[in-house]
Amino acid sequence: MRASTCRVGIDLGATSTKVLIADIRAGEKPAIAEAVVDRFTFPTPRGSDPIDRLAGHLAGVAEHPISAGGVTIPGIVDEDSGRVVRSVNLPWLDGVALGSALQQRLGFPVRLVHDGRAAAEAEALLGAGRGFADSFVLALGTGIAGAHVEGRRARRGANAAAGEVGHISQDPGGRPCGCGQHGCLETFIGGTYLANRWSAHIDRPATARDLFEAGRAGDPAALEMVDEATTALARSVLGVIATLDPSAIIIGGGISAARDLVVTPTAHKVYRSVTFHARPPILGAELGRWAGAWGAVLAAES
C-alpha cells in the first residue's frame, strides 16, 4: 500500500466518535469493503482538555501510513479556516481551530467539515445517492442535519450554515431545544430527546433504541412517541421537496436504523400529503453509522 493513499476520517459526534482509516486513491470511487484498513469508536471527549484527550484516542492511527485526515463536527463550521463557529451539542469547541489543532498533534493535514454535509456527500458518491443527479440527505442522530448534494458537493450556504433543518421550529410553544428555540425538529426526533422522553415514561434510564424496541413490541406510548416524531420529520421533508425539488430524499443517521419505524412511515406520510409537487424516492441510507466518517475520508483527499 502506498502511503499517499491512506486517509483517516474522524466523525466527532455529540456522544461518540468514529474513526475510519481507508485506502483512497485520488479520483477513484472506493469499493467500501476493499478500502477499509481499520475503524474504531470511543466516547467523545468533553470537559477539560478535549483536544488533547481526542488526540490521545487517535494516537493509534500512527500505526498506519496516514497522509491526510478529515474531521466532522455537528454545528456551524468555517471549512476554509478549519474553525468551529458554533456547535450546540459540543459547545466547548466553539471558536476552536479544530483542523489545525489536530494537525499539530497528529502530524498530518486535517480538514474540518460539517458532519451532515460530509455524510451527505459520502451517501451521494458511495451510498444510496448513486445514480441520482442530486439528493437531499438527512442525518438523524443526537442532532439533526441535512444537506443538498449536487454531484460530489453539498451546498454550504452563504455563511456555511446550510442544512440545519434540525433547528427549524415546528412548534414555538414546544419543548426547549439546546439552540435556544422551542419545538425544533430535533426535539421531536433527535436521539437524546427520544431517549429522555422514553426514560421519563418508564421511570428509568433508556435509549432511543429501547423506545423503538418497545414500539415493535406494540407498546402504545412508544408508538405514540414514534408517530409524533415521524409526523414532524415528514413535515420537514415536505418543506425540502417544496423548496429544492430534489431527485431523491435519503434518510440516514443512527435513528434511521429503525427503518421500519422511521423511514417507511415517514415516506408514507409524505406521499399522503404531497399535492402538486413531484414525489421523489425516499430511501434509507446505505452507509449506516459510518457515513460521516466516510465523508471525512473523502474530505481528506479533496
Q: pLDDT by residue (tens digit) across 257-302?
A: 999 999 999 999 999 999 999 999 999 999 888 888 999 999 986 6
Q: Do domains 3-118+290-301 and 131-285 have the same CATH topology?
A: yes
Q: Which three cell numbers stand for residue 138?
A: 438527512
Q: Which residue has the cell 493513499?
A: 5
Please state the domain extents for the chain.
3-118+290-301, 131-285
Q: Which pLDDT score, from 0 to 100, does residue 50 have? A: 86
CATH of 3-118+290-301, one of 3.30.420.40, 3.40.50.1110, 3.40.1410.10, 1.10.1660.10: 3.30.420.40
pLDDT band at 2; cut points 50, 70, 90 = very low
The CATH fold of domain 131-285:
Nucleotidyltransferase; domain 5 (3.30.420)
Q: Which residues contact 279 (CB under 8 A, 6 or more apart)?
A: 270, 271
pLDDT band at 213; cut points 50, 70, 90 = very high
Return the percentage of the chain with pLDDT > 90, whole number. 62
Q: pLDDT by residue (tens digit) across 53-95?
A: 899 988 888 788 888 999 999 888 888 899 999 888 888 899 9
pLDDT band at 26; cut points 50, 70, 90 = very low
Under 8 Å between Cβ of 157 and 175: no
Under 8 Å between Cβ of 71 and 31: no
pLDDT band at 253; cut points 50, 70, 90 = confident
pLDDT band at 214; cut points 50, 70, 90 = very high
Q: How far apart are CA 117 and CA 153, in angstroms?
A: 8
Q: pLDDT by residue (tens digit) across 196-207?
A: 999 999 999 999
pLDDT band at 103; cut points 50, 70, 90 = very high
| Residue of 59, 57, 25 lying closest to 41 (CA atoms) | 57
Secondary element (H or E) of residue 70? strand 68-73
